[in-house]
Amino acid sequence: MKFIVSSTVLLKQVQGVSGVLNSNNTLPILDNFLFEIKKGKLSITASDLETTMVAQLNVEAKEDGIIAIPAKLLLETLKSFPEQPLTFTIDKTTFGIEISSDYGKYKLTGQNGAEFPKTPKLDASSSIKIDGLILSNAINKTLFASGNDELRPVMSGVYFELNENNLIFVATDAHKLVRYTRTDLKAEKASSFILPKKPLNLLKNILGNVADEITISYNDTNALFEFGNTKLICRLIDGKYPNYNAVIPAENPNKLTVNRSVFLSSIKRVSIFSNKTTHQVRLKISGSELNISAEDIDFSNEANERLTCQYEGEDIEIGFNSRFLIEMLSNIDSDDITISMSAPNRAGIMTPCEKNDDGEEILMLVMPVMLNN
């Protein structure tokens, strides 16, 4: 079996799928890329059994064939070449691989490609098409709020809720929650699933520069994302997602409006002086003045800043974890934000004041931390 391919084109495709690889695989063959040639098309597959990614490209080849090639060795080799054609010659009996370049020859040993786990097929699936940039935005705006608690796996991913009048993406770790809604997209029939973090991170890295439409197919166990010459298949998280609407308070009479970047810079500075376990910052709002303070009693550190703001409601003093506020403020595009509150022991709701995109609605919720007065 023999094929010729451009070194830079191959490197780009191999790097794309390499994000799936684990450093400690249960099956040794998963340390390889599966190369499969059919009718002049090369499919490159990487898998960790939970997530599988396949990229396709055209190559010069006279016969079909299959081989598993050591991933790390191949990646390092390809990175060292400038743009040039590479010839791969594969011995089907010994699985020996010879790569010929303008500089010389390189030999390595692969494995039998037939032993590579089969890519899961999606039976009885539904599908929806979404613009790549919209999906990328939805993942970027929600993923940071998902949890890491192994005891609550349903919270460790992003919840996709596909409705007949909108699409909703939700992530929460019980301390913070993000609900991202697209009012300009709809599904033919209502359904929902929870996508794990790893495939979401892979999509996030790839979709930033994909303007194509993405087809998402899904059934009860797996989801498949198809775009360009790439496919990503992943196992869904099994379980029921918590009722997120129940935790969003409806009545929030106290509304603070402030410039996002000024507020973010202030929180970043003041939080340096906060307690290193609670990361607590205190917001004291009265009239058009917002006082942001933090202290670490153990080390006698404290910081205070005053900002001007717009405020409607009763004077309030409320504590938040500064790291959560920083993450949320960093993931909103608007110049000004509104934080709606009802009481010092109830969640605060952060929303952007202006929309960059008419079809987008975003709500971020953050739980307060108890103040010790």
CB 352 within 8 A of CB 362: yes
Percent of the chain at pLDDT above 70? 99
Which residues, listed in sequence order, are joined to residue 261 by a DSSP beta bridge? Answer: none
Name the phi and psi angles at 132, rounded to 5.
-55, -40
pLDDT exceeds 80 at position 372: no
- Residue corresponding to tokens 């979401």: 200
Considering the domain boundaries, does residue 120 fall inside one?
Answer: no
Return the axis-axis angle of helices 7-18 and 71-79, rounded to nearest 10°.
140
Do 237 and 253 sit in the same domain of this protein?
no
Do residues 253 and 158 both lie within one domain? no
Q: Is 62 helix (H, G, I), strand (E, B) or coil?
A: coil
Residue 372 inside a domain? The answer is no
Give me the domain span that covers residue 336: 248-366
pLDDT digits (tens, 9 = 90+) for 253-292: 999 999 999 999 999 999 999 999 999 999 999 999 999 9
| pLDDT at res. 9 | 96
Interval 235-244 mean pLDDT: 96
Same domain? For 8 and 85 the reply is: yes
How many helices (H) does the chain have, and how many strands (E)? 6, 26
- Our CA angle for 169, 249, 368, nearest 5°, is 90
At residue 373 the predicted structure's pLDDT band, cuts being 50, 70 and 90, is low
**How confident is residue 115, by pLDDT bands cut at 50, 70 and 90?**
very high
- Is 371 inside a domain boundary? no
Radius of gyration of the chain (CA): 25
Task: Show which of 205, 226, 245 is a domain's final residue.
Answer: 245
Quick check: helix, strand or coil at residue 74? helix
H-helix or E-strand spanning residue 139: helix 132-142
Residue 353 and residue 262 in one domain: yes
**156 & 109 share domain:** no
Question: Using one digit for the tens of pLDDT, what is the confidence trace for 117-176?
Answer: 999 899 888 999 999 999 999 999 999 999 998 889 999 999 999 999 999 999 999 999
**Residue 285 near residue 370, CB atoms below 8 Å:** no
Q: Which of 225, 245, 265 is the last residue of a domain?
A: 245
CATH code for position 6: 3.10.150.10
Backbone angles phi, psi at 298, to 5 degrees: -60, -35
Task: Find, among 155, 157, 171, the residue nearest to 223 by Cα.
Answer: 157
pLDDT at 193 over 70: yes
Average pLDDT, the chain: 94
Residues 206 and 260 occupy one common structural domain: no
Has residue 90 been placed in a domain?
Answer: yes
- Residue 19 domain-assigned? yes
Interval 20-70: pLDDT, tens:
999 888 899 999 999 999 999 999 999 999 999 999 999 999 999 999 999
Helix axes 260-271, 322-330, angle to 10 degrees: 150
Q: In what order do the strands lie in the sheet with 301-308?
A: 301-308, 289-296, 280-286, 316-321
> Residue 49: its pLDDT value, please?
95
Shared domain check, 95 and 159: no
- The pLDDT of residue 241 is 96
Could you tell me if 225 and 269 lie in one domain? no
Query: Do 108 and 155 lie in a common domain?
Result: no
From 245, 280, 295, give the residue that closes a domain: 245
Same domain flag for 28 and 99:
yes
Q: Is residue 121 part of a domain?
A: no
Q: Do residue 269 and residue 354 come from a single domain?
A: yes
What is the residue type of 221?
T
Report the distance separating Cα 127 and Cα 216, nearest Å: 5
Q: Is residue 104 part of a domain?
A: yes
Are both 45 and 148 inside the same structural domain? no
Structurally, the chain folds into a number of domains equal to 3
Residues 6+ apart with CB under 8 A from 230: 16, 17, 53, 54, 55, 56, 206
Q: Is the pLDDT of residue 210 over 80?
A: no
